[in-house]
Chains A and B, each alone.
Chain A
Amino acid sequence: MSDAFVVVSEASKAFVGVQALDRVNLSVGRGQIHALLGENGAGKSTLIKILTGVHQPDAGEVRLDGRPVRFRNPREAIGAGIGAVHQERNLITRFSIAENITLENPPRRFGMFDAAAAANATAKWLKLLGLELNPGTPVVRLSVAQMQLVEIAKALSLESRFLVLDEPTSSLTPHETRALFTVLRRLAQDGVAILFVSHKLEEVFELCSHVTVLRDGRNACASQPLAGLTRGDIVRLMIGREEAVFAAAPPASLGAAPALELRGVATALGHRDISLAVRGGEILGLYGLVGAGRSELARAVIGAARITGGEVLVQGRRARIRDVTAAVRRFGIGYVSEDRKGEGLILQLSVATNIAAAIWHRLARLLGFLTRRMQDAAATPFVRALDIRTPSLAQRVANLSGGNQQKVSVAKWLAAKSRILIVDEPTVGIDIRSKAFLHELLLRLARDGTAVLLISSDMPELIALADRIAVMKEFQVIDSFDNTRDYAAASARIMQAIHG
Chain B
Amino acid sequence: MAVTVANARRARLPAALGGALRSNVAGLVIGIAVFTLAFALYTSGFTSRINIYSLSRSIGINGVVGLAMMAVLVTGGLNLALGAIGVCSAMVVGWALQALGLGVAPALLLGLIAGAALGAINGLIVVTTRLHSFVVTLATMSIFFGGMVLLSGAQGFNALPPGLTGFGRMRLFGMISPLLIVLLIVGFALFYLYRFTALGREMLAAGANPVAAKLAGLPVERLFVLCHALSGALGAVAGVLASLRNGAIVPSMAGPLGSDWLLPAFLIPVLGGTLLTGGEVSVLGTVLGAVFVEVMTSGLYMLQIGEFWIQTALGLVLLGAILLERARAGMALARGRQS
- Please list the residues of chain A having a beta carbon within 8 angstroms of any beta carbon in chain B: 15-16, 18, 20, 302, 304, 323-325, 327-329, 335, 337, 342-350, 353, 357-358, 360-361, 363-364, 367-372, 375, 392-396, 398-399, 412, 416
Contacts and interface: CB of A to CB of B under 8 A. Distances in A.
B6 A348 contact: yes
A348 B214 contact: no
12 contacts: A18-B338, A18-B339, A20-B338, A304-B214, A342-B209, A343-B211, A350-B8, A357-B205, A360-B202, A364-B198, A372-B10, A416-B217
Given A304-B214, A357-B205, A349 B279 contact: yes
B45 interface: no
- Considering the complex of A and B, which 10 residue pairs feature the smallest CB-CB distances, nearest first? A328-B217, A364-B198, A15-B338, A360-B198, A368-B197, A350-B8, A346-B209, A394-B11, A394-B8, A368-B198
B201 A348 contact: no
B338 A328 contact: no
B199 interface: yes
Interface of B is mostly: helix
A314 to B, nearest CB: 15
Given A344-B212, A357-B218, A399 B336 contact: yes
Interface in B178-205: 195-199, 201-202, 204-205
Interface residues of B, number: 33
Interface of B: 6, 8-11, 15, 195-199, 201-202, 204-205, 208-209, 211-219, 279-280, 333, 335-336, 338-339
Contacts of A357: 201-202, 205, 213, 216, 218
A396 B338 CA distance: 14
A349 B211 contact: no
Among the interface residues A324, A363, A393, which one has the most CB atoms of the partner chain B within 10 A? A324
B11 A361 contact: no
B289 to A, nearest CB: 21
Contact of A325 (B8, B208, B219): B219
Contacts of A343: 209, 211-212, 215
B211 A342 contact: yes
Contacts of A335: 215
Contacts of B213: 346, 357
A328 B215 CA distance: 8
A328 B202 CA distance: 15
Contact of A16 (B8, B216, B335): B335
Contacts of A393: 11
Given A347-B209, A392-B11, 10 more contacts: A16-B335, A16-B338, A329-B217, A343-B212, A349-B205, A350-B8, A363-B198, A370-B197, A394-B15, A416-B217
A324 B208 contact: no
